[in-house]
Each structure stands twice: as structure tokens, then as C-alpha cells.
Amino acid sequence: MKTYLVTGGAGFIGSNFIHYMFDRYGDDIKIINVDLLTYAGNLENLSDVKNNPNYSFVKADICDKVEISKIFADNDIDSVVHFAAESHVDRSIKDPEVFARTNVIGTLNMLNCAKEAWETNDGFKEGKRFLHVSTDEVYGSLTEEGTYFYETTPYDPHSPYSASKASSDFLVKAYVDTYGFPALITNCSNNYGPYQFPEKLIPLIINNVLTGKKLPVYGDGKNVRDWLYVMDHAKAIDMVIEKGRIGEKYNVGGHNEKQNIEIVKIIIDTIKEMLPEDDERQAHINYDLITYVEDRKGHDRRYAIAPDKIRSEIGWEPDTMFAEGIKLTIRWYFDHTEWMEHVTSGDYQKYYEEMYK
């Protein structure tokens, strides 16, 4: 039986990944989820797996050497899947320090603890893998239509968030190059789907449409992001752990570039279509909710991934096209209004820590 140590599993992508893995492998795997439960971590995301005997949760900081080493000492970890990070660009502009601490020092600590546990006299134990989950934002910003980020594109991060992720990628590469450490990196485009905290564009707009609030669009709304349904990212991570070559990096994206303003309009149109005609919210849902606001500082213009390598080497393809994925996502937010109330009320952690006592 394979044991995975997932960091940041109570966050958006981490919790979807845990669901994906149990759905796919059932009782054949064990998952240990280590998460500090910051504002972005919510155990409610995992309420349906919490009683699974093959799942366990440890509340700990990835920067804590003692706690993380203990997890490695107590368990024979086969794969680390490292999601834990500060992940929001706007927060990184206001408060960069915590990004350097968690994303850089936290990743270094995870690498050191795994190295210590897995190192032998002549290399590393067979079959061990450290998958570092990174972002396409490390490559900077594209301007011209038709150009893409490849694995060979030089790093050119602009925000404190992307700079901290780029630094962590370089640390992972340094451990491969220096020690022959068995790590791989994935650089994925923007994700969307269930359990995403409503500070990010798609859940923020869905929540604001449903509650009749203004829809803030930064700058001219023409910045482009390349959107991927979160379960397709989970599938890519699983496949890279299984089939990827140690020391390699893989770009993950589904060629779904859209301007922010297009996304906002699609969400408005889709919600209108999905709500019953006599729903009282229909009256206030229209494009007048859109409000152009001051642009983000240093706002990257366009991200677009070339997924050629992961397709040809690993055989990964996305399963969920945007037209379907956005409906699944909106439907999920329709059905989880309590989740939204909890994560926006600020005291959900206390509530859930009590529940898990």
C-alpha cells in the first residue's frame, strides 16, 4: 500500500486531490494530510473522508522541522505531494513576508525532512517521489497572442507570490541537481472548481452574483488567464508521480485562455440560465453588476500554457472542458451556501476544530 504525505490538503486543490485519489485508488492508498489551517484551509472540505481509516490529518506548520520530521519518522512515506503555500497574489502585494516564509522556507523544510528520511548510503530509497506543485506564474507575463509558456521558458516572476513560488522551484531543482533528490515539479495554469476560497476570481464572482454584490474587474478586464478544472490538475499530478521522470518539470494546462471580462460575463449568463425563472434573484442579475476598479499593481497581462510535454510523455489530457466545468462549479456553489457562509464568516476554523476534537 502506498502512503502519500499531502501538504496543504485542507485548501482548494489539495482537498480536491485527496478526493480524486480516494475515488481512484480506494483502500489501496493511505493519505496523511498536513495543514496549518490558515484562513485558506478548511477541514469542512474533507468532511466526507474524515472517518476513512486510510486518511489522517495532522495540524502542523510546514516550516516546523520537529513536527514534519516526526511524520516521516512515524510513517513510511512513499510520495510527498506539496501543495501548502500562500496562494493569493493580492495578499502577496499587501504582505509579502508570509509568502517568503511559507513558500520558500516551508518548501526547504519539506525537502530537508524528506531527504533525511529517504537518503541511503548510495542515493535514495527506491520509488520515493517528491512532487512540488507550482504555478505558471513563475514564467511571468505573455503579451502576444499565439505565444505560450514552455518548460524551457525562462523564469520571470513579477509578484511577491510568483517570486516566492519561483524561489521554491529553484530550491527543488537544486536538491535534484546537488543530491540527486527524487523530485518533480508541475507548473499549472489557473484552476477553478469546488472548494475554492472566494478571494479568487471565479468563486468571488459566483458568490457576488448570487448575493447581488458588485463584480470588481481589475483594470480594463482584458488580462488573460488559462483556466483548468481542478480535477484535471489532480489527475495530472497523479500521472506525473506515476510516470514522470525524476528531475523534470511538466507544464499543466488545457488551452482555455479567456479574458477576465469574458469569464465574468459567462458566469452571469450561466447563473441566469441555471436559476429557475421565478427565482427572485433573477431581477438583479445582469451586466450592470460589473464594476471596473483600480488595476492590480504589476498585473500580469496574459498566461498561457503549452501542455505538449505532459501530453506526449505522460499521456495526460484534460477531461472537463470549460463549458461543462463552469456549470459543475456554479452548481457546487449553489448547493454549498453553508460552506460559503462558514468560510466568509471567519470563525469556521474554530467551529471545525471543535467538530474534529
Closer to ligand TYD by Cβ: residue 228 or 237: 228
- Please report how close the Cβ of residue 299 comes to ligand TYD at its closest, in angstroms: 6
- Please report how close the Cβ of residue 316 comes to ligand TYD at its closest, in angstroms: 22
Of the listed pieces 55-63, 170-178, 215-223, 239-247, which binds ligand TYD according to CB under 6 A?
A: 215-223
233 binds ligand TYD (CB under 6 A): no
Per annotation, catalytic residue among 35, 44, 86, 137: 137
Exactly one of 19, 115, 200, 235 binds ligand TYD (CB under 6 A); that residue is: 200
Q: Which backbone phi and psi does 278 adopt, to 5 degrees? A: -90, 10
**CA distances from residue 133 to 57, 184, 303, 327 in whole angstroms, order as listed:** 20, 9, 17, 26
Q: 285: left (phi > 0), else alpha (psi -120 to 50), else beta?
A: beta
Exactly one of 223, 256, 320, 329 binds ligand TYD (CB under 6 A); that residue is: 223
137 is catalytic: yes
CB 82 within 8 A of CB 240: no
- Please report how close the Cβ of residue 192 comes to ligand TYD at its closest, in angstroms: 9
260 binds ligand TYD (CB under 6 A): yes
Closer to ligand TYD by Cβ: residue 134 or 260: 260
Which does residue 35 bind out of ligand NAD, ligand TYD, none, counting CB within 5 to 8 angstroms by kind?
ligand NAD
Closest CA to 312 of 355, 250, 256, 255: 250
304 binds ligand TYD (CB under 6 A): no
Give the footprint of ligand TYD on residues 81-140 (CB under 6 A): 89
Exactly one of 201, 228, 239, 241 binds ligand TYD (CB under 6 A); that residue is: 201
Closer to ligand NAD by Cβ: residue 102 or 141: 102
- Please report how close the Cβ of residue 185 comes to ligand TYD at its closest, in angstroms: 18
Beta strands 249-252 and 224-229 are unpaired
Closer to ligand NAD by Cβ: residue 124 or 251: 251
Closer to ligand NAD by Cβ: residue 241 or 285: 241
217 binds ligand TYD (CB under 6 A): yes
Which does residue 84 bind out of ligand NAD, ligand TYD, none, counting CB within 5 to 8 angstroms by kind?
ligand NAD
- What angle separates helix 337-345 from helix 348-356, to the nearest 10 degrees? 110
67 is catalytic: no
Closer to ligand NAD by Cβ: residue 35 or 232: 35
Q: Would you please indicate which residues are annotated as catalytic (active-site) residues?
A: 136-137, 161
Interacting residue ranges for ligand TYD, rule: CB under 6 A: 89, 190, 200-201, 204, 216-218, 223, 225, 260, 296
